[in-house]
Amino acid sequence: MMDWTDRHCRYFMRLLSPSVRLYTEMVTAAAIHHGDADSLLRFDSAEHPVGVQLGGSDPQLMADAARVAADKGYDEININVGCPSDRVQSGRFGACLMAQPEVVADCFRAMQDVCEVPVTVKTRIGIDDSDSDEFLMRFVDTLANAGCRHFVVHARIAILEGLSPKENRTVPPLDYQRVYSLKRAWPELRIEINGGITTDEAVEDALAHVDGAMIGRQAYHDPWFLAVLEERFLSGRAAPDRVAIVEAMLPYVREQLAAGERLNRITRHMLGLFAGQPGARAWRRHLSERAHRPDAVPDLLLEAVDAMRVAA
Ligand SMILES: Cc1cc2nc3c(=O)[nH]c(=O)nc-3n(C[C@H](O)[C@H](O)[C@H](O)COP(=O)(O)O)c2cc1C
């Protein structure tokens, strides 16, 4: 999730769930081509299994970016066909590409040709007035004919003009049935559903119809949700306790700070760890008020645990 997640966030989330598949925020193929690919694509080996999400519509640029990402060891390359922002549309990629499935299929072929790991697509159920089963089926049909076997579908349309990206994640209504119909029409494809899933019961409901569920905001705001999902749907590993997760982060935090990273760049992802628990506010406040200071040290995390216990 752009502006929210990064490699530190994924390292932390991996401690909560050893099996869940993690994804990077969208990285544009152009940025990889023109910019510092090493820093844009950097990740820790602990993050596996991890997919990188690429944005773009030029098959050659997308293939080059996919090759670089695959060489770095990503387990999956995902194409963004869901982002509605103006910035993205002017570059002609993201959700607006739903109207040009051939362009996405050309990118897919060029990318899959140059890497062994699966190339997958994240899309919406429609855009603007193109809000029908037929439109979504035509999109998926074109990609499936190109060889794509794995789709993640955000179960709401994107409105390309007049709504902000944030509104585009809340205003268009969710329509899970359309994603379920897609799976019924294409039982051989891996179809995962995304959008508005906030409980393990909702995951269970979705898994009765499709092959997987992608969780965005809930996992960020309440990362413990991932530990719950691990136990219930993945390895069955019983969730460790939250303080053990803090302690398990410490060696990583020390290593990152020694390499010049600022503490709050890591702890900002951990603010929700105790969401709903007694003392959670004290935990958040202790970190928010202190972790940005230049002299902040890793043990601030343990202090924040103490502050939480006192407040609880
Ligand atoms: C801050 C933010 C940034 C996002 N960035 C991306 C992105 O880079 N790529 C993407 O495919 N979706 C992105 N999304 C959308 C989410 O992946 C997801 O599709 C959407 O939030 C609906 O799922 P949820 O209800 O589980 O959050 C972003 C969402 C948020 C809140």
CA distances from 63 to 17, 113, 148, 151, 282 (A): 31, 8, 15, 19, 47
Gyration radius (Cα) of the chain, Å: 20
pLDDT at 240: 83
Co-location of 94 and 191 in the same domain: yes
Q: Best mutation site among 9, 169, 198, 268 for ligand 1, i.e. most ligand atoms within 8 A of its Cβ?
A: 169
| Ligand 1 centroid distance, CA of 1 (Å) | 5
- Number of domains the chain is built from: 2
| Ligand 1 centroid distance, CA of 51 (Å) | 14
Co-location of 170 and 296 in the same domain: no
Q: Does residue 1 form part of some domain?
A: no
Domain end among 205, 233, 261: 233
What are the helix (H) ranges across the chain? 7-16, 29-34, 37-40, 59-72, 86-90, 101-114, 133-146, 176-185, 200-207, 217-221, 224-233, 242-258, 263-267, 280-290, 300-311
Which residue in this structure is represented by tokens 């037929």? 134
pTM of the model: 0.97
CA distances from 301 to 1, 68, 295 (A): 24, 36, 14
Residue 304 CB burial class (10 angstroms; 0-12, 13-18, ≥19): buried
Q: Does residue 226 form part of some domain?
A: yes
Q: Best mutation site among 124, 217, 218, 225 for ligand 1, i.e. most ligand atoms within 8 A of its Cβ?
A: 217
Q: Which parts of the chain register pLDDT below 50? A: none
Co-location of 257 and 144 in the same domain: no
Give rounded-to-5 percent helix, strand, coil for the chain.
50, 15, 35
Q: Does residue 182 form part of some domain?
A: yes
Contact 248, 17 (CB under 8 A): no
Instruction: For residue 154, give the ligand 1 atom closest to its CA.
Output: 19
Residue 184 CB burial class (10 angstroms; 0-12, 13-18, ≥19): exposed
Q: Where in the sequence numbering do the catalytic residues fall? A: 83
Q: Does residue 2 form part of some domain?
A: no
* Residue ranges around ligand 1 (CB below 6 Å): 1-4, 25-26, 53, 80, 82-83, 122, 154, 169, 194-197, 215-218
Contact 180, 135 (CB under 8 A): no
Cis peptide before 101 (omega within 30 of 0): no
pLDDT at 89: 65
Co-location of 50 and 142 in the same domain: yes
Q: Does residue 195 form part of some domain?
A: yes
End-to-end CA distance of the chain: 32
Domain end among 213, 233, 253: 233
Q: Which domain holds residue 35?
A: 7-233
d(CA 92, CA 86): 9
SS3 181: helix
Q: What is the CATH number of the domain that holds 251?
A: 1.20.120
- The token pair that represents 242 in the structure block: 């939250």
Q: Does residue 200 form part of some domain?
A: yes
d(CA 45, CA 43): 7
d(CA 62, CA 79): 9
| Ligand 1 centroid distance, CA of 95 (Å) | 12
pLDDT at 299: 97
